[in-house]
Amino acid sequence: MKISKKEFENLSKLASLSFESNNENIVSDLEKILSRFESLSKIDTFNVEPTSHVTSLQNSMREDKTKTILSNEEILQNSPENTSGQIKIPRVFDNE
């Protein structure tokens, strides 16, 4: 697939990419990649069912169950320092 200079510039703009040097090598590589994808359109997929996975595995997720592990008071008892029901930690940013 041949890509014009205008198409390449538009694609670069859409992808927020800027190129400082000669773009011919990049355009050539992009043309090769697109031609590979074009070759996929020649494959007959008429009797092939769409799949999202190559295996027949199903989700095996467990049901969410809520339970209390520790109360807020127990958590605060384990913290070195707390204020107004919140754990106090050392400053992360010095500029404030």
Which residue ranges make up each domain of the chain? 5-40
Crossing angle (nearest 10°) for helices 5-14 and 24-40: 90
Whether residue 14 has pLDDT greater than 90: yes
Q: What is the pTM of this model?
A: 0.45
What pLDDT, on the 0 to 100 scale, is given for residue 56? 75
**CA-to-CA distance for 58 and 29, rounded, in angstroms?**
39
